[in-house]
Amino acid sequence: MKKLVIWLVILSVIGFFTSPIMAQGQKEDVVTLRMIAPWADKEFEGFRPVIEKFEAENPGIKIEYRTGKPEDVATILSTQFSVKKSPADIIDTAWPWYIVQEAEKGNLLPVDGAVNYADFREGSLDQLKVDGKLYGVTGIGGLTIPEFNASLYRENNLTDPRNVQSVEGIMDLMRKVQKLPNVKAAVGTGGGVGWTNTSVIETWILTFGGRKMYMDLLEGKIAWNSADVKQVLRSSLLPWLQEGFFGEPEEVSIVTENMWRKQYGFFVGGTTDSLRFNNPPGDYAVFLLPGQKDIVMWTDYWFIPAYTEHPEEAKKLLAFLATEGQSIQVKGGGRIATYTNVPLSNYPEQEQMIMGVVGKNGIVPDMDDTIGGKFQTVMWDQLKLLWSEPTDSTLNSVLDTIESAAKETLTSK
């Protein structure tokens, strides 16, 4: 009886995903593509113009849209893929590793030729390849980057961080910020589960260790407790922690609010905060650490199940979503495109400022989200320890523990 109930639930959920909602009464020669993405209510309203534009340009194709969170969709796909079926022709996920996993099982359609690599930020499509074939494309996303309230520096006759050219110059600036009235610390620290400390580690490794070290760590080609990684963090991060630049942990929404209230010199957060802090205009700002050439970016990803009945039409939609679709979506603010041909004029003022800072710098995937599993939770906990006791001995112990978790997580995939 229990098994029967479970199967009835699965079948009902499958029916939810496969039942039409948007394409009613179309002619028989019109192809209907089923789409699953996570946006609902107000978020979907920002995506609706993308669907409407595609349908207007392709009168022979209609889209049925369903909302589904990545974790829920993955459960349904597991059942459907096992019998070589799919509830949708094109699907959005936040997990690049999921695309690789299902491509290796033969469950996804290769999409080589659907887009031009040269039109995307460096590195944005690399993680979606298996055995040299492309199995997904990126959409819009957000950047992990130091963000600050520009008026803090303007009102105190301090140099804007965007204009500082050296690491020592940034540290000197933070020493001045520390001395300002009402400033809690030079840099805000996010509390809670601890993911904000990983944003700092990722940014520091990219800046002082470089893209290759970052990607080698991501892929398990270099150990976290290797001499090179230890040296980078010992020389670049420990001085910031030991000098007290980082403040006491506060819940993420609070620490970002306090950054905006000019109680922190900056916070390593995300560009989606530009939507929250837009008044007065122009005061929300971001900067790259001197020498930083690549940026952590989290995005949405589109893929096509191998069992679609309309592969060519699905590829056409996928190409549109990755290119013109991004141009439309960024108009709503809070997001940055991976497609480099999006006109700067399509971005709201806040995002135009961000684009002016980051230019066309290369991007890398978010470290803890991409590896996930035990590695993610262990990293969060261990970095809290390093923040509270920033000694060379603690750094060694923390990196040993993180390496053990990384090895276990990567080998289990």
Question: Which sequence spans correspond to the domains of the chain?
Answer: 28-141+299-354, 143-297+362-411
Q: What is the rounded distance in angstroms from the CA atom of residue 75 to the CA atom of residue 79?
A: 7
**CA triple 47-119-66, angle to 5 deg:** 25
In the prediction, which pLDDT does 27 show? 52
In the prediction, which pLDDT does 71 show? 85
Beta-strand relationship, 264-270 and 137-149:
antiparallel
DSSP states along 304-368: -BTT-S-HHHHHHHHHHHHTHHHHHHGGGSS-B-SBTTS-GGGS-HHHHHHHHHHTT-EEEE-HH
Q: What is the rounded distance in angstroms from the CA atom of residue 8 to the CA atom of residue 145?
A: 46
Q: Which of 76-85, 102-111, 146-155, 329-338 has the lowest mean pLDDT?
A: 329-338
Phi/psi for 204 (5° steps) reads -70, -40
Kindly report the average pLDDT of the chain as a whole number.
91
Closest CA relative to residue 366, chosen from 200, 188, 241, 237? 200
The residue with tokens 């996930």 is: 372
H or E stretch covering 297 = strand 294-303
Average pLDDT over residues 268-296: 94
- Report whether 256 contacts 319 (CB < 8 A): no
Residues 389-409: b if buried by 16+ CB within 10 A, e if exposed: ebeeebbebbbebbbbbbeeb
pLDDT bin (cut points 50, 70, 90) of residue 13 is very low
pLDDT bin (cut points 50, 70, 90) of residue 42 is confident
Average pLDDT over residues 164-189: 97
Average pLDDT over residues 9-31: 52
Phi/psi for 149 (5° steps) reads -95, 110
In the prediction, which pLDDT does 8 show? 40
28-141+299-354 and 143-297+362-411, same CATH topology: yes
pLDDT bin (cut points 50, 70, 90) of residue 369 is confident
Give CATH for domain 143-297+362-411.
3.40.190.10
Closest CA relative to residue 320, chosen from 22, 28, 35, 96? 35
For residue 167, how many other CB atoms are within 10 A of its CB?
Answer: 17
Assign 64 to helix, strand or coil. strand
pLDDT bin (cut points 50, 70, 90) of residue 368 is confident
Average pLDDT over residues 273-293: 94
pLDDT bin (cut points 50, 70, 90) of residue 319 is very high
Model confidence at 12: pLDDT above 90: no
In the prediction, which pLDDT does 171 show? 98
Phi/psi for 86 (5° steps) reads -150, 140
> What six digits make up the tokens of 267?
């916070």
Closest CA relative to residue 111, chosen from 323, 315, 307, 325? 315
Model confidence at 18: pLDDT above 70: no
Structural fold of domain 28-141+299-354: D-Maltodextrin-Binding Protein; domain 2 (3.40.190)
pTM for the complete prediction?
Answer: 0.83
